[in-house]
Amino acid sequence: MQNNDPDITLITPDAPMSPGTHGGRAKCLQRLVRLDLPVPVTVALSFDAVHRLAAGEPLDMQRILAPFGEAPLLCVRPSSEDPDWGGPGAILNIGMNDSLYVELSDRIGKRAAASLYLRFVQAYSIHVARLDPDMFDEVSDDPVTGLPEALSAYEEETDESFPQEPAVQLLEVLRSMARTWEGTSARLLRQAKGAPADAGLGLVVQQLALGLGETTGESGSGVMQLVNGQTGERKITGRYLSQSQGRDALGQGAGALFLARDARGPSLEEQAPDAYAQLIAHTALMREKLREEMTAEFTVENGKVWLLDGVRVARNARAAVAIAVALAEDRIIPREEALMRIEPRALNELLHRQVDPEAKRDRLTRGVAASPGAASGKIVFSAADAQASAAQGEACILVRRETSPEDIRGMHAAAGVLTERGGMTSHAAVIGRGMGLPCVVGASDLTFQLRRKRIVAPDGRVFKAGDVITIDGTSGDVLAGEPTLVEPARDDALKTLMTWADEVRDISVRANADTPADAEMARGFKAQGIGLCRTEHMFFEADRLTVMREMIFADTPAERAEALELLLPMQRADFADLFRIMQGQPVCIRLLDPPLHEFLPTERSGHVQLAEALDLPVSDVTRRVEALSEYNPMLGMRGVRLGIVVPEIYEMQARAIFEATIEASQHGAPVVPEVMIPLVSAMREVELVKAKVDAAAAAVRAETGQAFDYRLGVMVETPRAALRAGDIAPLVSFLSFGTNDLTQMTYGLSRDDAGKFMSEYVQQGVFPEDPFHSLDTDGVGELLNLGIERARAANPDVVMSICGEHGGNPESIAFCRDAGFDYVSCSPFRVPVARLAAAQLAV
Ligand code: PEP
Ligand code: MG
């Protein structure tokens, strides 16, 4: 056979073919052939050929059949460009007909020959002729008796005898697989896995190795891999079934053997040690030469091993990291490639919480464990509600009958997803796993009363929107309430990978951390400091809140000073804790940012309580709360405006920072605190606050006789601050771009309300992405570039960074690196993702 037909290609070491013309399976088989591995003769059909076949055009069958000789016995398998996109199921035993049946009966025994033929008749009838599978209900289980029954059933259904001509059989099989691929359901399924709408399908036609028959040596089939696809642990795993073919060994499991010796049952290693040894050698060679962990699909034919296929070991993120690291440690791939092989977001899957094994589980039901990790949150029933909930910083569980692409934004916003329908490959499951979002699907024991916005547990308990549940995507459990969750175990492979990432990356990564617990987490994730400590979060504990409110309600400077005097030691302790935990790494503390009314109660009952605590009439409290309320608080008296109008608060905070600096430096590494002013829009604001902060530093130095340094910086989060960065930069050591507010103000788009219509906007293509999620590089990005350029021109030493949510988004990090930022800062859980994303940019 000439091997220069681009459509019908005998797989030889140098036949021209690529995943983009003949599919991943064909290309992989060629690689195995090049390694001189025992692959049966295989012919690959190109995407073009398969496409034409689906359109009803003829194909040169003699050309396909030529390499297989007389009376071939064949199988056909799909070969899509990316093996993950799937394809129609394999069809085996093509070529079986009455005469081959007679011949094979002599060679391998009548029973085995009948079994092959029967299997083909059934597969052909159901998948090619599209007959009702029920027609074989009455067929005997014994193949010798069953075969004639099946043949007559076929004849009865079709009024034709079963096709005998191999060329006809093969053509029909190929054509039906081609048409299945082009059908709507197959297209939707692969699109859900990321395939383009016009993804092509190749087909491979392969000589069948016989895994059954009355032979002297061992015969059977199975799969083998050298690692565990869940943990990445090096362990020979797989199944083998004597007297079988295809993927039988993976079926019911009856009679299947382990591969390696195993206390739980018999193994191939014991039953056919030679074949076992060959297989290990083949799989190890594939690993080394294909530079990837592979699952070998094999047949043992009378003692001889045939490799039918090699597929990348299916793996979760944890195993992916372990595999990439092991390949690099074995010098099969360079470290840089190991880094590039892990999608940064996939780390989420390793990093997610789990339900504490010790915690009491109030189980409502168990569904399919579709995406690992546990999440608790309030029930929401729509993607829009999930986004609204996320905008308010409230964790939610998105509960849907099933999800569809319109729900993706909601899934991004949710802590977890629970669906009534679906299985491991349903939309929610595939997308959830892709995002590392905990997900339980197919929880059909729950009654989903979506119009009434409630779900009912099998025991009758009712859960409404807003009620808290927990889903455990690792076990499939749906739990009432909020059991304790434990932080994920980060294994050595992840640590190694992250060390490599840190060696190559050229932009620093800090964490946004407000509390000692956050700071511990940040250190655990090897953040290079705290890039944003939002101090307002320190005032919400009950004892402090009351003092804070007293301060807010103070009538005279003396009263205010008294309240601040009480807050000072609390803040000092907070900062000292952070400094201690961060062990000399930079800690950037933002002075108070939110409008004061956020610290006051909104309900009347809260007003009453506050009146009691402050010994004031309720009417007085209500009046003052009202007086502090604003029409547009995000644009009102907050951030530096507060610092200018009520300077005592920033003075107290600055003093607390400096006193804590001295305290922490006495016990550990010297601390150089960073003090950051929020929501600046004018240079004069910075001058005024700088004077106060400098004065506080001077006072603390004078009182204590201790020297210390500090750095003052500004958050660039108003468009004007970005435009006037040239005025501001000479006054400060650093500028940190707060892209949450900057996005809000650049678009004039409320960060708290945009969730309501964002999915609509993205769906209609108004925005390519939610700009609060992925940096708007065109608009907000232009302001960042302008700001950086002007700041650097005015003060070349100024340190520049980003501390909005975008700091943890891989695409946004790419922008920040190009823009010349010194570091990005993001929430602790996103630090590993950011470190890996940053490393990939530097590779
Ligand atoms: C920002 O605005 O980007 C920011 C980091 O501050 P916050 O989210 O606290 O407003
Ligand atoms: Mg902000």
Q: Report which bound ligand comes closest to the CA of 806.
A: 1
Chain position carrying tokens 């390519």: 768
Q: Whose CA is nearest to atom 8 of ligand 1?
A: 740
Compute the distance from residue 738 Cα to the ligand 1 centre, in Å: 5
* Number of neighbours of residue 611 by Cβ within 10 angstroms: 16
Q: Are residues 177 and 287 in the same domain?
A: no
pLDDT at residue 688 above 90? Answer: yes
Ligand 1 near 784 CB (within 6 A): no
Ligand 1 near 444 CB (within 6 A): no
Measuring CA to CA, how many Å separate 160 from each of 130, 140, 592, 645? 14, 22, 84, 93
pLDDT number for residue 434: 55
Q: Which ligand 1 atom minimizes the distance to the CA of 738?
A: 3
User: Which tokens hold the place of 652?
Assistant: 């107290």
Q: Which ligand 1 atom minimizes the distance to the CA of 678?
A: 6
**8 A C-beta contact, residue 379 and residue 469:** yes
User: Which tokens hold the place of 239?
Assistant: 């199944």
Separation CA 724–CA 716 (nearest Å): 10
Q: Which domain holds residue 753?
A: 507-540+571-595+634-842
pLDDT number for residue 432: 77
Ligand 1 near 717 CB (within 6 A): yes
741 labelled as ligand-binding? yes
B/e letters for 450-484, b = 16+ CB within 10 Å, e = fewer, are eeebbbebeeeeebebeebbbbbbbbbbbbbeebe
pLDDT at residue 765 above 70? Answer: yes
Q: Are residues 71 and 193 in the same domain?
A: yes
User: How does pLDDT run across 84-131, given as a tens digit for each residue?
Assistant: 888 899 999 999 999 999 999 999 999 999 999 999 999 999 999 999
User: How does pLDDT run across 715-732, given as a tens digit for each residue?
Assistant: 999 999 999 999 999 999
Mutate which of 588, 681, 717 for ligand 1? The one with the most ligand atoms within 8 Å of its CB, which is 717
Segment 14-42 shows an average pLDDT of 96
25 labelled as ligand-binding? no
pLDDT at residue 323 above 80? Answer: yes
pLDDT number for residue 433: 64
Separation CA 802–CA 716 (nearest Å): 9
pLDDT number for residue 669: 86
pLDDT number for residue 65: 96
Complete DSSP assignment for 668-733: SS----EEEE-S--SHHHHHHHHHHHHHHHHHHHHHH------EEEEEE-SHHHHHTHHHHGGG-S
Q: Which ligand 1 atom minimizes the distance to the CA of 740?
A: 3
Q: Which of 300-314, 328-342, 484-498 has maximum average pLDDT?
A: 328-342
CA 421 centroid distance within chain = 21
Residues paired with residue 297 on neighbouring β-strands, in sequence order = 223, 309
List Cβ neighbours of 563 (8 Å cut-off, separation of 6 or more). Answer: 547, 548, 550, 551, 554
Residue that terminates a domain, selected from 207, 238, 270: 207
**8 A C-beta contact, residue 208 and residue 169:** no
The residue type found at 133 is: P
User: Which tokens hold the place of 394?
Assistant: 């409230």
Within-domain flag for 224? yes
* Number of neighbours of residue 321 by Cβ within 10 angstroms: 29
Ligand 1 near 532 CB (within 6 A): yes
Within-domain flag for 342? no
Residues paired with residue 400 on neighbouring β-strands, in sequence order = 419
CATH assignment of the domain containing 669: 3.20.20.60
pLDDT number for residue 180: 93
554: left (phi over 0), alpha (psi -120 to 50) or beta: beta
Confirm whether pTM is higher than 0.90.
no
Q: What's phi and psi for 685, nearest 5 deg?
A: -60, -45
Percentage of the chain lying above the pLDDT 70 cut? 97
Torsion of CA 332, 337, 338, 340, to 10 degrees: -160
Pairing status of strand 396-400 against strand 416-419: parallel
Residues paired with residue 369 on neighbouring β-strands, in sequence order = 440
Q: In what order do the strands lie in the sheet with 91-94?
A: 8-10, 42-45, 201-207, 74-80, 91-94
- Kindly indicate whether the ipTM for this predicted assembly is greater than 0.95, answering yes or no: yes
Q: Give 612-621's long-range contacts (Cβ < 8 A, gap of 24+).
A: 613/546, 613/549, 614/549, 614/550, 614/553, 616/553, 621/553
CATH assignment of the domain containing 183: 3.30.1490.20
Q: Are residues 259 and 143 in the same domain?
A: no
Segment 690-713 shows an average pLDDT of 98
User: Which tokens hold the place of 436?
Assistant: 């590392």
Compute the distance from residue 803 Cα to the ligand 2 centre, in Å: 9
Ligand 1 near 514 CB (within 6 A): no
User: How does pLDDT run across 565-598, given as a tens digit for each residue?
Assistant: 999 999 999 999 999 999 999 999 999 999 998 8
Chain position carrying tokens 């769906």: 763
pLDDT number for residue 819: 96
Q: Are residues 41 and 142 in the same domain?
A: yes
590 labelled as ligand-binding? yes
Within-domain flag for 327? no
Q: Whose CA is nearest to atom 9 of ligand 1?
A: 534
User: How does pLDDT run across 704-715, given as a tens digit for each residue?
Assistant: 999 999 999 999
pLDDT number for residue 371: 81
Ligand 1 near 634 CB (within 6 A): no
Confidence of residue 430 (pLDDT cuts 50, 70, 90): low
**8 A C-beta contact, residue 333 and residue 327:** yes
Q: Whose CA is nearest to atom 6 of ligand 1?
A: 738
pLDDT number for residue 475: 82
Ligand 1 near 310 CB (within 6 A): no
**8 A C-beta contact, residue 600 and residue 552:** yes
User: How does pLDDT run across 633-650, given as a tens digit for each residue?
Assistant: 889 999 999 999 999 999
pLDDT at residue 2 above 60? Answer: no
pLDDT at residue 492 above 70? Answer: yes
Q: Are residues 387 and 516 in the same domain?
A: no
Ligand 1 near 594 CB (within 6 A): no
Segment 472-500 shows an average pLDDT of 89
Which of 174, 120, 178 is closest to 151 using CA atoms?
120
Q: Report which bound ligand comes closest to the CA of 740.
A: 1
**8 A C-beta contact, residue 780 and residue 771:** yes
pLDDT number for residue 405: 66
Within-domain flag for 757? yes
Query: What share of residues in the chain are helix, strand, coil (percent, to 5)?
Result: 50, 20, 35
pLDDT number for residue 83: 84
Separation CA 760–CA 387 (nearest Å): 12
Q: Are residues 199 and 284 in the same domain?
A: no
Ligand 1 near 659 CB (within 6 A): no
User: How does pLDDT run across 791-806, given as a tens digit for each residue?
Assistant: 999 999 999 999 998 9
User: Which tokens hold the place of 833?
Assistant: 């993702």
Residue that terminates a domain, selected from 315, 340, 369: 315
Q: Are residues 137 and 176 in the same domain?
A: yes
Ligand 1 near 191 CB (within 6 A): no
Residue 508, burial from CB neighbour count under 10 angstroms (0-12, 13-18, 19+): buried
Mutate which of 803, 824, 826 for ligand 1? The one with the most ligand atoms within 8 Å of its CB, which is 803
Q: Please indicate whether residue 189 or residue 57 has the higher confidence score (pLDDT).
A: 57
Segment 348-356 shows an average pLDDT of 79
Q: Which ligand 1 atom minimizes the distance to the CA of 512?
A: 5
Q: Report which bound ligand comes closest to the CA of 775.
A: 1
pLDDT at residue 425 above 70? Answer: no
Within-domain flag for 646? yes
Q: Are residues 658 and 795 in the same domain?
A: yes
Measuring CA to CA, how many Å separate 10 from each of 53, 174, 202, 675? 18, 16, 13, 69
Mutate which of 680, 741, 750, 809 for ligand 1? The one with the most ligand atoms within 8 Å of its CB, which is 741
pLDDT at residue 372 above 90? Answer: no
pLDDT number for residue 350: 83
Within-domain flag for 173? yes
Measuring CA to CA, how many Å separate 832 from each of 126, 393, 420, 528, 779? 49, 22, 33, 11, 28
Compute the distance from residue 75 Cα to the ligand 1 centre, in Å: 60
Q: Are residues 283 and 404 in the same domain?
A: no
List Cβ neighbours of 105 (8 Å cut-off, separation of 6 or more). Answer: 113, 114
Protein residues near ligand 2, an ion, with CB under 5 A? 717, 738, 741
Q: Are residues 202 and 227 in the same domain?
A: no
Pairing status of strand 439-441 against strand 416-419: parallel
The lowest-confidence range among 565-579, 749-763, 821-835 is 749-763
pLDDT at residue 253 above 60? Answer: no
Measuring CA to CA, how many Å separate 650 from each of 245, 689, 701, 730? 76, 8, 17, 21
Residue that terminates a domain, selected from 207, 231, 258: 207
Ligand 1 near 803 CB (within 6 A): yes
Confidence of residue 539 (pLDDT cuts 50, 70, 90): confident
List Cβ neighbours of 528 (8 Å cut-off, separation of 6 or more). Answer: 508, 509, 510, 585, 586, 823
Residues in the chain: 843
Q: So which residues are the catalytic ones?
A: 427, 803
Q: In what order do the strands lie in the sheet with 304-312?
A: 234-242, 220-227, 294-301, 304-312
Within-domain flag for 756? yes
CATH assignment of the domain containing 399: 3.50.30.10
**8 A C-beta contact, residue 609 and residue 555:** no
Q: Are residues 639 and 513 in the same domain?
A: yes
Q: Report which bound ligand comes closest to the CA of 804.
A: 1
Q: Are residues 143 and 12 in the same domain?
A: yes
141 labelled as ligand-binding? no
Within-domain flag for 407? yes
Residues paired with residue 533 on neighbouring β-strands, in sequence order = 589
Confidence of residue 254 (pLDDT cuts 50, 70, 90): low
User: How does pLDDT run across 51-79, given as a tens digit for each residue?
Assistant: 999 999 999 999 999 999 998 999 999 99
Measuring CA to CA, how many Å separate 498 from each of 134, 279, 320, 433, 830? 55, 34, 14, 22, 13
Residue 616, burial from CB neighbour count under 10 angstroms (0-12, 13-18, 19+): middle
Compute the distance from residue 804 Cα to the ligand 1 centre, in Å: 5
**8 A C-beta contact, residue 404 and residue 481:** no
Q: Whose CA is nearest to atom 1 of ligand 1?
A: 738
pLDDT number for residue 440: 94
Mean residue pLDDT of the chain comes to 92
Q: Report which bound ligand comes closest to the CA of 738.
A: 1
The number of distinct structural domains making up the chain is 4
pLDDT at residue 489 above 70? Answer: no
Confidence of residue 391 (pLDDT cuts 50, 70, 90): confident
